[in-house]
Chain A
């Protein structure tokens, strides 16, 4: 005596519609559980993508070289003797271009200087770099041109200014072609940075860029603060790193006195931390699913006792214990599926609202979280209904029918 599946569906649907308050209550419980998972994981995932994106805007396949051994290398003779590490120079930077795997490099110097135009002046972060800086950092120009391609040691009097500096110095006036004073030198404005170029560490809008050699003159130094190296591919990062260490060791009389860090290492760490965070909030949200499951068990128990007479009748009409279990479970399945779907829609609406409120945050629930939330919802619904279903199947029809 196998029930037809459409009959099971019809009967369960009827039972759900017969008790709208109970059905609504369970739907809400399930929906809250599922939507909590969807919204929270989308938040976590959004945060992860946001941070990754910010880091990626520092540059892709980027390797940063700076003078001195990093402290994490532990104690070595240099630190013991208090010796100052050898500076990096423009020639060091030039030497790093001699690898097939290196796409582009730029040495940089950073300092602050007074910048003035006519009577207006302010102190500004001045960045010395080569023309490659724009491509390495994925920055965009709003107007004019970037620093021209030329020899690193040529101190050309040109500058590219951030949009905020432009507004402050020139107001509504046209900035391109004007001469401004940086420190005690005069530079011609040849470009304005776009406003998008905000990345961790540097606010491009409030920066002024000049050729590296000019920066060395202004800050009166022959050294270089950092060298940024972009490898051709992700796979090339390790070889390039080794190449940099070897080359600079040769140039520095055999001393390993530079530190080389890669963007990837930092990125990976953040990726791991934020990924774990997503799992964690997802797990916390899953607790609400379990709570929903327990609620389903309660409500199904109530449903069984509410419908004792009906179950007794079904037995009298020839329903086997199995059929009773199937009918109760079908009801729970229908209920938790509908709840899960409602929760999914609610959750998508929630993450849409987050994206609407914070356009920078790519808050999309990851597919795995959605699938798990839906599957767990349906399974908890079924598992927690097993006990009520068994109880219904065991009901004594005589007692059930007499309403005792």
Chain B
């Protein structure tokens, strides 16, 4: 069986973390949520980050998504140092290059599915006539066209997460950061959601997913394991292609 993954201009380094520290002050004690993390992720990779709770995996994801700044260390995204950017510039990077998928979906309850998906484009200042076809496309891609005028409360968990994925991808980002995307879903819808994310990865979007479900985590090509803020292991399935993944 031939690999279905199309190899692109290989070895393009997308994310580069060098000696990242992230300390929190809890009471009068300093907690090292990230302790000297150095990591390189290439464009188009499928990475899962696993580890017990409190191991720093969410903190790492927040840092990668520019929602948080490291205490020290350098973060380069596509070769550009993004740690020194201003709030406004970081907001632009988040808007254009990063898509988030959350465990709690985080849809705005008063907006319809389509409006939720439209939100990042609105924030980007895109004119309405350009937004509508993009939103329709993405919703169609995810099989949500007939749900586009439903409010989140009228949707099932799996549908909500699909809307959230649509929202994350509508800006055509280079990387999707998923924080326990299946954590609030039953097994079947969880698997559906993972498949969708993997399909996006096949189209070339870098997928980084935090999970504590080993079954989900092992589907990724590359599995990072964190313990106590340190990178404990970095394991790649280079030699074999995940059978599920190949079949999808």
List chain A positions with a Cβ less than 8 A from chain B. 1-4, 6-7, 11, 14-15, 17-18, 309-310, 312-323, 396-398, 401, 403
Chain A to chain B contacts (Cβ below 8 Å), 26 pairs: A1-B124, A3-B122, A3-B125, A14-B110, A15-B110, A18-B110, A309-B106, A313-B106, A315-B67, A316-B100, A317-B95, A317-B119, A317-B167, A318-B91, A318-B96, A318-B123, A318-B171, A320-B88, A321-B87, A321-B88, A322-B88, A396-B68, A398-B67, A401-B67, A401-B106, A403-B104
Question: Complex formed: what's the CA distance from A1 to B171 in Å?
Answer: 14
Min C-beta distance of A16 to chain B, whole Å: 10
With contact pairs A317-B94, A317-B95 given, residues A323 and B123 touching in the complex (Cβ less than 8 Å): yes
List chain B positions with a Cβ less than 8 A from chain A. 62, 65, 67-68, 87-88, 91-96, 100, 102, 104, 106, 108-111, 119-120, 122-125, 127-128, 167, 171
Question: Complex formed: what's the CA distance from A310 to B123 in Å?
Answer: 14
Closest 9 CB pairs of A and B: A318-B95, A18-B110, A320-B91, A318-B94, A317-B120, A320-B88, A397-B67, A313-B106, A7-B122
Chain A minimum-CB-distance residue to B91:
A320
Question: Complex formed: what's the CA distance from A318 to B85 in Å?
Answer: 14
Contacts A18-B109, A317-B119 aside, 13 further interface pairs with beta carbons under 8 A come to A6-B128, A14-B110, A310-B108, A312-B106, A314-B123, A315-B94, A316-B65, A317-B120, A318-B92, A321-B88, A323-B91, A398-B67, A401-B104
Chain B minimum-CB-distance residue to A307:
B108
Min C-beta distance of B234 to chain A, whole Å: 24
Question: Complex formed: what's the CA distance from A323 to B87 in Å?
Answer: 12
List chain B residues, Cβ under 8 A from A320: 87-88, 91-92
Question: Complex formed: what's the CA distance from A18 to B106 in Å?
Answer: 16
Q: Is the interface of A mostly helix, strand, loop or mixed?
A: helix
- Is there an interface contact between B62 and A398, defined as CB atoms closer than 8 Å? yes
Min C-beta distance of A250 to chain B, whole Å: 86
List chain B residues, Cβ under 8 A from A322: 88
Min C-beta distance of B134 to chain A, whole Å: 15
Question: Complex formed: what's the CA distance from A3 to B123 in Å?
Answer: 6
List chain B residues, Cβ under 8 A from A397: 67
Question: Complex formed: what's the CA distance from A315 to B102 in Å?
Answer: 14
